[in-house]
Amino acid sequence: MSFDMNDAEPQKTSEIIPDGTFAKVSLTIRKGTIDGESEIDKGLLKASNSPGSDVLMLDGEFTVTEGPHARRKFWQMLTVSGGKVNEKGVSIGWKITKSTIRAMIDSALGLNPEDMSEAAKAKRILRGFADLNGITFVAKIRIEPSSDPRYGDSNKLDRVILPTEPEWKKVMDGQDSPAVPSTMRRKPAPVPTTAAAPAWSQPQQQALPASAALAATQGPAWLNG
């Protein structure tokens, strides 16, 4: 018996994506062991491994979909509950994640973040966090220095790029958008609280029914094409 290695994939490079790179990325949520509040979020969440922590998170895998870094991946946890709270008792980590998720939707669907029409609001409704699987949006990627000498630096989501920014159109049109290195290289926190996360389609411009109830029953806008 022989083994033909000719059809094996080329060895992947260990180099990280340059700091400040703009790219189109797709989010996959890696399953956890804890149920979320929504019916479609069973077994989706993961608990923090810090002793005494009540933080629950989504384990996000981000894959670059196009360009010179296509198929490269990075990983980031998205806090959905627990941890430090603000003066109103709301999880600070969740507020950050919620803003990031909204930005992902706006970026994916080409929505102006200031558009608060009924149609736009309906598109921002999720049946559960599982609806985020496959969402494709424009991201700015940063390098996070490692705090442990045993491990190298890693890529993280710096922020989501919105349709109102010039880099969004360049990336969506397949044009090169020069990297803009982050102004501050941040150390990873013991319990990450920043977000970075339907099979999301390519960004769509078509308006959906304005009814939020309809959006909730039929699934998110990116499923309806």
Q: Which pLDDT score, from 0 to 100, does residue 194 have?
A: 46
CB 120 within 8 A of CB 102: no
Q: Which pLDDT score, from 0 to 100, does residue 84 have?
A: 95
CB 122 within 8 A of CB 221: yes
For the chain, the domains span 21-215
CA 30/CA 46 separation, integer angstroms: 9
CA 137/CA 143 separation, integer angstroms: 19
H or E stretch covering 156? strand 154-160
Q: Side-chain half-sphere of 99: how many Cα atoms within 13 Å? A: 9
Q: Where are the alpha helices (DSSP H) in 53-165?
A: 92-109, 118-123
Q: Which pLDDT score, from 0 to 100, does residue 167 have?
A: 97
Closest CA to 100 of 40, 185, 35, 160: 160
* 3-class secondary structure, 127: coil
Q: Which pLDDT score, from 0 to 100, does residue 222 have?
A: 55
Q: Which pLDDT score, from 0 to 100, does residue 10 have?
A: 72
Give, for all 225 residues of the chain, the pLDDT tens digit.
788 888 887 766 568 999 999 999 999 999 999 999 999 999 999 999 999 999 999 999 999 999 999 999 999 999 999 999 999 999 999 999 999 999 999 999 999 999 999 999 999 999 999 999 999 999 999 999 999 988 999 999 999 999 999 999 999 999 999 999 986 554 444 444 444 435 454 444 444 444 445 555 566 665 554
The set of residues, in sequence order, having a beta carbon less than 8 Å from that of 102 and lying 6+ positions away, is: 113, 124
CB 201 within 8 A of CB 195: no
C-alpha 26: how far from its chain's center? 7
* 3-class secondary structure, 182: coil
- Show the tokens assigned to 217: 């029953």
In sign, the C-alpha dihedral spanning 166, 106, 63, 190 is: positive
The set of residues, in sequence order, having a beta carbon less than 8 Å from that of 199 and lying 6+ positions away, is: 133, 134, 223
